[in-house]
Structure 1
Amino acid sequence: MSTDTVVDDNLSIQSENNAGKRVVYCTKVFFKQLIERKPMDKLQAEIDTRNELRRDLSWIQLLAIGLGATIVLFSGIGIFILSGQAAAKYSGPSVIISFVVAGVIALLSSLSYSELGAMMPSSGSVYTYTYAALGEYLAWFIGWNSALLYLFGVLTVSVAWSKQVILFFNIVSNFNATTVLLGTPLYWDEYTENFYFTGQAINLLAIGIIIAITILLIIQIQQMAIFNLVLVVFKIIILLIFIFACCSYVNLNNYHPFFPSNKGSFSEYGVTGMLQACTYIFFAYVGFDSVSTVAQEARSPQSSLPIATIGSTIVSLLLYIGICTVMVGLVRYDLLNSDSPLSQAM
C-alpha cells in the first residue's frame, strides 16, 4: 500500500513538473511571437511581389490627400474650434507661437514618416513600420490606435459638419431644420462634463455624408483623389481669402499683451499657458500620416511620399499661422471662447 502511495506521489510530482514546463514553454513562445519582428528585406519582397494595387497617384494627388486629412478633416476641429478656445483659455495672442511649436513637432514626426515611407512603401503604414522595428504585438497595438484615431476623427467631423449645415440652412432660409431626423441624439456638455440627450433620434446628415464618401472611396482611388484635390484647392482658396480680406481690419492693440500675465496655474496664460495650448491644438496637425496609407498606390513612392508628407505639414503650418495671426488681431482673445471663433472674429 505504501509503495502504491509513493508511486502515485511521484506520478503527481512528475505531472506537475510537466505542466509547469508546458506553461513555461507556452509563455516563452507567446512572448517570442509578441516581439517577433519582420525583417525589412522580407517586407520589401512582399511589397514588390504581392502588390495588387495600381500605382496611379502622383505627388500632387498625394499632397492633396495629406492636406485633405489635415486641413479638411482634423483641421475642422483644430483651427476652426480649438484655436479660439486655446487663445481664450490658455495662451492669449501667443496661440500663434503655440501653432508654430506644435507645427515644428509635427514636422519632425512627418520627417520620420517620410523616411520610413520611402524605405517601406506599404499601405500598412505605421503598422508595417512598427512590425519591422518593435515586433508584432506593438504593431497590432499601434495599428488599432491609428484606426481608432481616424474612426473617432471621422465621427467627430461628420457630426460637426451636419451641425454647420443645419445652421447654414437656418440662416439662409429661416427654416428650422433641427428635426428629430437631422440632429445628434447625444451631446457632450463641456461645462458640466456630462453627456445629455437632445431629444433628437438620428443624425441623417452625418450618416449620409459618411456613406457618400465611402461610395466614392470604393469606386476607384484615382477618381477619389481628383475629387479630393478639388475640395482641398477650394478650401485653401477660402482660407486665403479670409486671411487677406481681414488683414486691413486687424487691430494691433489686440496683440498686447502677447503673453498675458499668468494667473497662478500652469495652464492659465503666460509662457506655460502657451505650452499648454500646444497640447490643446496639436490635433489640428494630425493627418499628414494619411499619405503613407496609400503608399502602394503612389507613383515613384521614394520621391513622392516625402514630398507629400513634409509638404502637407508645411502648408498646414503656414495656413494656421496666417489664420491665427488674423483671428487674434480682429478681436480680443478673451472673446474667442466659442465653437466658431472665426465667425466671432468676423
Structure 2
Amino acid sequence: MTNHHIALIPGDGIGAEVLPPARRVLDAVGARHGFGFTYTTYDWSCERYAREGAMMPQNGLDLLRDKDAILLGAVGYPGVPDHVSLWGLLIPIRRGFRQYVNVRPIRVFEGIDSPLRTATPGEIDFVVVRENVEGEYSEIGGRLNRGFPDELAVQESVFTRTGVTRVLDYAFELAARRGGRLISATKSNGIVHTLPFWDELVAERGRSHPEVDWDQEHIDALAAKFVLDPARFDVVVASNLFGDILSDLAAAVAGSIGIAPAANLNPEREFPSMFEPVHGSAPDIAGRGIANPLGAIWSAAMMLDHLGHPEAAGDVTGAIAAVLAKTDLRTPDLGGTATTTDFTEKLLELL
C-alpha cells in the first residue's frame, strides 16, 4: 500500500484547530482508496518565536526535505510582526523549495450566499495562478536615515525571464485543461519596466499555447470585473502582489475566506509542495472551537490531487459540496452556530 509522509505545521491560532479535521478526512479517504499517511508534526509558530527567537530551527528545510508534502495551518499572532512571522517560516519554505506557483481555486458552492446577487453556484469556478517567489516581494531594498525627517525606504521588484515564463507556462497549461481561457493581470500603463516585460512574456508564451484564448486586463479594472462579472473567468495569472490581492478578493466573492484553499507548488517535484488554507490565524476566535475547517480540508484535497490521487480529491470536494448543499450546518463565519467538530463529523458522514 502506498504511504505518503506528510509534514504538519499547525502554526498559530486556529491553525491547530483546522489541521486535525483535515487529517481525519485524509485518513478516511485514503482508507477507501487504498493508500495511507504518516504524519510528522512541527511546532513552528509565533509561540516558538516568543520562546526561542525563531519561527523554525535553522535546519527546518532539511527536516522537511524528505516529506511528500507539507500541510500548513496558519501563521501569525498578535505581538509578533507579520513580516517576522511570514519571513521566518512561510516565505523561506516557498523559496527554499522553489514553490513558484501559488494556485487558489475559486468556486461558489450551492448553500453559501455570496455577497454578490449575481454569483450563482455552478457558474463561478475559476483559478488564480500567482507567481510565488519573486516579483514585488523581493528582498532587495532597505531603509536609510532611520528616525530622521529624511528617512526613506526602498523596495525593488524583481521579474526574471525564467521566473515569469515558468509560471505563465503553468497557467497556460492549466487553462488548456480547463475552459481554454486565460486573463493576465497587468498595470503596464503605469509601471514602466516590470509590467511591460511581463506583458511581452505573456504574448510570447501565448503564441506557444494556441489552444488557449488569452487577453490581459489592468489590475484596477480586473478587480472591478471580479466583482461585477466573476463568471467570465477561467484562469487568471498574476504577479506575486497582484495575485495575492486578487485571490483574497475572489475568495470574498465566493462567500467566505474561511473556505478558501491554496497550493504552493514545485511543479518539477524536486522539493515538497505546501498546502494551506488562506484564512489566517484568526486569533479573535482561536480556542473557541468554531473555526471553519473547510479551507484546510479543501487544501488537503488539492494535496491529494498533487500526490496522484485525483479520484480521492474529487471525493473530498464532493463531500464539501454535499455538506453545504444538503445540510444547514454552518460555522459562524458562514452565518451558523456549528462547531468545528460538528461540521467535520457531518462531512465525514457524507464522505
TM-score, normalized by length of structure 1? 0.26
The one of the two structures with greater contact order (alpha-carbon pairs below 8 A, sep at least 6) is 1
Higher helix share: 1
Higher strand share: 2
Larger Rg computed on CA atoms: 1
